[in-house]
Amino acid sequence: MNNTILITSFSIWKPHHTTNSSDDLLELISERELLDSLNFLRNLPVEFELAPEHVLEKFNELQPKVLICCGMAEERTKLNIESRAVIEEHTLQTSVDLVELTTDLQMTEISHDAGQFVCNTLYYKTLEHLSSRDEVHHSIFIHVPVITEENKSFLVDDFISIIERLSIMSF
């Protein structure tokens, strides 16, 4: 395992979408000169089987220390870091201390509901995959609100703080 961080985003899935806010955020992040250890897997298909397949393939290739999956949440107003994923009454929790991760972040909150769509399935499959490995890897899922001129800088600042904190966190 290395100090690599893999960050993923989704493509659009509804007819009225022109972009996906998760990918918009990754576009803004990729324009910054951040850690050399960042890798992006962008525009995942919004499909229950293909999204986890693509992410786990890239995960197995890179063996990152941390996997950050991002998805769009039109109804939310802040970055929401999901504590868990649930499929058919089976719950998997992230191994990341989310209270420590989110302390003092003004546009980020902890959520306990990753939804019932592809985001939840992707998160569940990644947590399941990581739990079966000998090495310790960590994963979080972040729901990203629609990005506007008013919230853009705040969301980017919080997201960069999350990346930086995860890169130095002792798990």
Residues of the chain with pLDDT > 90: what percent?
Answer: 84
Asked whether 166 and 138 are in contact (CB, 8 A), the reply is yes
Residue 1 has pLDDT above 60, yes or no: no
Pairing mode of beta strands 5-10, 66-72: parallel
Total-model pTM = 0.96
Q: What percentage of the chain exceeds 70 in pLDDT?
A: 99
Residue 136 has a pLDDT of 86
Among 28, 59, 10, 63, residue whose Cα is nearest residue 163? 28
Mean pLDDT for all residues in the chain: 94
Give me the mean pLDDT over the 58-87 stretch.
97
Question: Does residue 17 register a pLDDT over 80?
Answer: no
Distance between CA atoms of 141 and 50, rounded to whole angstroms?
A: 17
Across residues 76-82, what is the average pLDDT? 98
Residue 83: pLDDT over 80: yes
CA distance 72 to 22: 5
Q: What is the 3-state secondary structure (H, E, C) of 105-159?
A: CCCEEEECCCCCCHHHHHHHHHHHHHHCCCCCCEEEEEEECCCCCCCHHHHHHHH
